[in-house]
Amino acid sequence: MRLAIAGILVLVAMGASWPAHGLIHRLAVPADPDASDIRAATSAGDVPAGAPATARDGSTAQSASRLGPLAVGLCAAVLFAGLTARIGPALVLAAYCWLAATTVPLAWIDAAVHRLPDVLTSAAYAGTVLLLLAAAARASEWGDLLRAVAGGLALAAAYLALAFIHPAGLGLGDVKLSASLGTALAWTGWGTLLAGTFAGFVLAGCYGAVLLAGHRATLKQHIPLGPFMIAGTFLALMAVGQGPHLL
């Protein structure tokens, strides 16, 4: 049963890869209106003098689109398969798969233009909460739901505080994303919430260290945190797992 469901979810992920890729290309636009001129010039091969390093490196919607639908689909398929292997309750699995389906495009967009669109962060949070609500109602696990909601709000509050303290390192998009990630993590437990959050920062730190060692970045250069927050969350969820049953 578990293998069959994993196969179906992988097929769904691959089938949805083209629409997801189109969504990424449509939403991967710079938050700064002036940056649209840089992006257009970059695609034409002419970068204006004084343009940011990200534009010179081609880190725009064009860089996101070059990954192709297959890369997007494979990323979602790997997450779906891993979650199916580790998560038992069907509605909890549905909540985590929904989170994966909405955060994979967010990861690509943030990597391309350092932006996390509200339309996807809102969908990620709403869908995750609603599916976990259904899971709690089915199994009468109201304590788990309360902890999940509280954990999501607590993590968002912590990220908001960090954004005020160090606005160059964190944005409001990261704060909004953390609400859905924290909700998913805290459903399993407070320890999972801490582990997933810590893993995201460790992954980001390792990536930054590699860039510095290769002289591809400076200490002042901004690194998009969203992809690492997402990766840390799913690593923690799959490491901990939940329950032997699937239905």
pLDDT digits (tens, 9 = 90+) for 22-67: 888 898 887 654 544 433 333 333 333 333 334 334 444 454 445 6
If you average pLDDT over residues 64-83, what whole number do you get? Answer: 83
pTM of the predicted model over 0.75: yes
pLDDT at 211: 85
Across all residues in the chain, what is the average pLDDT? 84
Least confident range of 2-6, 196-200, 205-209: 2-6
Residue-wise pLDDT for 95-152, tens only, equals 999 999 999 999 999 998 999 999 999 999 999 999 999 999 999 999 999 999 999 9
Burial string for 14-35 (b: 16+ CB within 10 Å, else e) reads bebbeebbebbbebbbbeeeeb
What share of the chain has pLDDT > 90, as a percent? 57
Question: Helices 142-165 and 190-213 meet at what angle, rounded to 10?
Answer: 30
**Cα–Cα distance for residue pair 5/1, rounded to 1 Å:** 6
Residue-wise pLDDT for 163-195, tens only, equals 999 887 789 999 999 999 999 999 999 999 999
If you average pLDDT over residues 206-210, what whole number do you get? Answer: 89
pLDDT value at 91 more than 70: yes
Cβ-defined contacts of 187-194 (< 8 Å, 24+) = 187/92, 187/95, 187/132, 187/144, 187/145, 187/147, 187/148, 187/151, 188/237, 188/240, 188/242, 189/147, 189/240, 190/147, 190/151, 191/240, 192/236, 192/237, 192/240, 193/151, 193/155
pLDDT at 52: 39
pLDDT at 53: 38
pLDDT at 75: 93
What share of the chain has pLDDT > 70, as a percent? 81
